[in-house]
Structure 1
Amino acid sequence: MIKVLLVDDHAVVRMGLKMLLNSLPDMEVVGEASEGNEGIEMALEEKPDAILMDLSMPHGKDGLSATGELKKLLPETAILILTMHDDEEYLFRAIQAGASGCVLKSAPHNELVNAIRSVCQGDAYLHPSAQKRLMEEYLGNLKEDGSDTYQLLSDREKEVLTLIAKGYSNKEIAEKLVISVKTVETHKGNLMEKLQMKTRPELVSFALKKGLLGYGIQ
């Protein structure tokens, strides 16, 4: 059973989502919150598998800020951003904050359900139009720069890059790859030098363009 927490400032939206998800055999809504701070408190109490997080909440903490805090407190919980904004800026900001993906509020019910199941399996999810724009941007970058720095990375560095982009800490990466934290830090330093990048958001953006999170161009 997938335990889901709803964080949205519109009671009618929460009611509709709750009715939809509770009607499914593998999902259960374990809590509702109307703003980010309340959502954080409830998430710590209920330990949900997935959180549907509204992006724009005028009262209290907004969705992006709450997502950033929750990924530090509950790194294993998947956060799916619900948004009305079909905009690249919001998309990248959500991913950088630690979200596993984004779904438009106008999306069909089956797309939302599939997105929840997908992120709970450890995959990332983007709505189709966002995937298309990311691929177009990736192709545009390739035309502007014929060199593919990704090929400079070793297989292990590629693994570390993918896990970093998925939001795992150095310690969690070390446990997954059965290596020391120091070795992870070395790989991270080497790949950032090869890619000429200095920050984690840059790595996440690069990984998105490379399709390392389960979508896009490989």
Structure 2
Amino acid sequence: MNCRPTTVLLAGGDALMRDGLRMLLSGQAGFEVVAEAGDAVAVVPLAGRLQPQLVLLDLSLDAQDLDIVSAIKAGLGGAVKVLLLTGELQPGALRRALLADADGYAHKSEDGAELLRAMQMVLAGRQYVSRSIAAVFLPRSLRMDTAGDTLAATPREREIMSLVARGLSNREIAKLLAISVLTVRTHRQNLMDKFSLRNAAEITAYAVQRGYYRPG
């Protein structure tokens, strides 16, 4: 039985970047580039019409551009995965990006093998944040205790963070750890408060940087 390739829409960025991505994917049997959009704004109606399974979106990280991610997800919901590509390494901009609805965040300096790994992870339903992005994000999320030392995550907090980074839901984590969903929610909220994390993407970034989770 023949498996259909994953349909991919390339959007935003410059033509050179899109050419590189197209060449990368052309050597992979499991992907098919169905369209390109140089103007990131044009990707929303294009995605609605073509309904790709994966959108590789090269964006600047201002608020207006990041709204494009939400618009794509609103139109297609869980039927599409969005991998956000950026050349930005400013902490404030990256923190804004991690609040968007993207399924993964990769820096454009990543090599082809890592970009393919990022695509595979988001297609498998797992959150992806590249190490270079996580490394910049981390200093803004640390909390210090009264002695000036970085607060340490408890073994359970590390466990929860690694499972969130793997893309598991609260219900799936509860089943795996043999605890209640309410307990998972409590642990998750407590660690988010403790380390100033606001969503699954920020939890993933923190877990990657601290070594609690390794993508791939």
TM bin (shorter chain): 0.5 to 0.7
Matched, 1:2 2:42: no
1:39 offset after TM fit, Å? Answer: 0.5
Whether the 8 Å contact between 1:150 and 1:195 is mirrored in structure 2 is no
Specify every segment of 5 or more residues in structure 2 that has no aligned partner in the other structure, as ranges: none
Q: Does 1:33 align with 2:30?
A: no
Q: Give, in whole Å, the separation in 1 of the partners of 2:126 and 2:18.
A: 24
User: Given the two structures, how large is their TM-score scaled by the length of structure 2?
Assistant: 0.66
Partners in 2 of 1:17 and 1:7 — Cα distance?
10
Q: CA RMSD, aligned part only?
A: 4.2
1:95 maps onto 2:98 in alignment: yes
CA deviations on 1:142-176 (whole Å, 9 max, x unpaired) are 785777787898x9xx69x949x96x9xxx97899
Letter in 2 for 1:209: Y
1:6 deviation in Å? 0.5
Q: 1:14 to 1:136 in 2, by over 3 A?
A: same
Q: Residue 118 of structure 1 corresponds to which residue in structure 2? A: 121
1:56 deviation in Å?
2.1
- What TM-score, normalized by structure 1, do the two folds share? 0.66
Indicate the SS of the match to 1:68.
helix
Q: Which residue in 2 is equivalent to 1:79?
A: 82
| SS of aligned partner of 1:75 | helix
Instruction: Give the C-alpha shift of residue 55 in structure 1.
Output: 1.4
Aligned to 2:132: 129
Q: Distance in 2 between matches of 1:130 and 1:95?
A: 10
- Would you say how many aligned residue pairs link Structure 1 and Structure 2? 199
Out of 6, 10, 25, which is 1:21 matched to?
A: 25
1:109 aligned to 2:112?
yes
User: Residues 134 and 216 of structure 1 are in contact (CA less than 8 Å); yes or no, is this contact kept in structure 2?
Assistant: no
Shift in Å, 1:14: 1.9
Task: Measure how far apart 1:107 and its partner are.
Answer: 2.4
Q: 1:202 matched to which residue of 2? A: 198
Matches of 1:50 and 1:15, distance apart in 2: 17
Q: Is the 8 A contact 1:52 1:79 kept in 2?
A: yes
Give me the whole-angstrom Cα distance separating, in 2, the residues matched to 1:135 and 1:57: 18
